[in-house]
Amino acid sequence: MRGWPTPGAAGDFLAVLKAHGYELAPRFAALSAHAPPVTEATTVLALKFRDGVLVAGDRRATAGHMVMYERAEKLINVDTHSILAVAGVPAVAFEMARVLEHSLQYYRRSQLQEMSTAGKVRSLSKLLKENLPLTLQGVGTVVPIFATYDEEGGKVFFYDALGAQFESGDFAASGSGSLAVRSVLHYVNQWGNKPLARHAEDEATVVALRALDTAAASDTATGGHNPRANVFPTVRVITREGIHEVSDTELAKLYRSEV
């Protein structure tokens, strides 16, 4: 595309501005030139299955090319039937999740009813828009997935960094390994033995684990299953009854027999 910055600047908003002739404010320029690598979390996914929504994420957090932590938690329960899956800067994402959780609690206690799904989705969008200054500085970008279950069944929403939200019909993925994850999920959904919406919970779990391992094979920022350290991805399921987590014991069995 004409006028597009060099490949080395891809993903760096400040570099895009500079490549198009815009002068950076002094404090932004200083951040771009001297800021240390920001800790980031990837990769997360959500998919609809027969009984609800399955949400999964790897456990690796990175700063530049350095692995900072191999047991990061990227799935955050914000109420009894909703999960925020975060890709981006954990420090910002966790605060965002805390504010969203408290907002939903306040609404429930003050209005004596649950906030609607549309209200929850818009509340998260508003938090992302309020995070725009940090996003523009390149030190606080968050690109989440919001999964929930309401009277209509399981729902999955994904966002961009500026707060635009989109509802997914079958699945969503975010983070540096999301391209590989989406490719796997699309293949299974289109040409597998049956669509994802007809998978049982254990079948959907196997698909999610295979997708994350595929991403880990090509993306250094995504951590796969590490049997030596006993590190497994985080997998949670939302159904009519609420949220439950697939235990490491069950994940270990699935890795031995299916993945």
User: How many domains, in total, are found in the chain?
Assistant: 1
In a domain, 8, yes or no: no
Query: Which pLDDT belongs to residue 13?
Result: 63
The DSSP letter of residue 184 is: H
Q: Is the peptide bond before 148 cis (omega within 30 degrees of 0)?
A: no
- Catalytic site includes residue 135: no
Please report which helix (H) or strand (E) contains residue 201, including its range: helix 201-218
In a domain, 74, yes or no: yes
> Model confidence over 212-232: pLDDT tens digits?
999 999 999 999 899 888 999
What is the average pLDDT across 117-141?
A: 92
pLDDT band at 10 (very low <50, low <70, confident <90, very high): very low
| Rounded distance between C-alpha atoms, residue 20 and residue 107, angstroms | 45
In a domain, 14, yes or no: no
In a domain, 163, yes or no: yes
The angle, 0 to 180 degrees and rounded to 10, between the axes of the packed helices 178-191 and 201-218 is 140
Cβ burial of 112 (10 Å; 0-12, 13-18, 19+) is exposed
**Of the candidates 141, 140, 171, 177, the residue with the CA atom closest to the CA atom of residue 158:** 171
Does the pLDDT at position 145 exceed 50?
Answer: yes
In a domain, 102, yes or no: yes
What is the average pLDDT across 161-178?
A: 95
Does the pLDDT at position 146 exceed 60?
Answer: yes
pLDDT band at 20 (very low <50, low <70, confident <90, very high): confident
CATH code for the domain of 143 = 3.60.20.10
What is the average pLDDT across 132-136?
A: 88
**Strand partners for 48:** 53
What is the average pLDDT across 195-204?
A: 98
Does the pLDDT at position 116 exceed 70?
Answer: yes
In a domain, 182, yes or no: yes
In a domain, 35, yes or no: no
| Rounded distance between C-alpha atoms, residue 93 and residue 139, angstroms | 12
> Model confidence over 57-85: pLDDT tens digits?
999 999 888 888 999 999 999 999 999 99
Query: Which pLDDT belongs to residue 2?
Result: 47
Report which of residues 13 and 217 the model is more confident about: 217
In a domain, 9, yes or no: no
Q: How far is CA 256 from CA 151, 217, 251, in A?
A: 36, 18, 9
What is the average pLDDT across 139-148?
A: 94
pLDDT band at 26 (very low <50, low <70, confident <90, very high): low
Query: Which pLDDT belongs to residue 152?
Result: 96
> Model confidence over 29-68: pLDDT tens digits?
454 555 567 777 789 999 999 999 999 999 999 988 888 8
Average pLDDT over the chain, rounded to whole? 89
Catalytic residue among 6, 39, 42, 80: 42
Domain membership of residue 150 as a residue range: 40-257
Beta-strand pair 171-174/66-69: unpaired
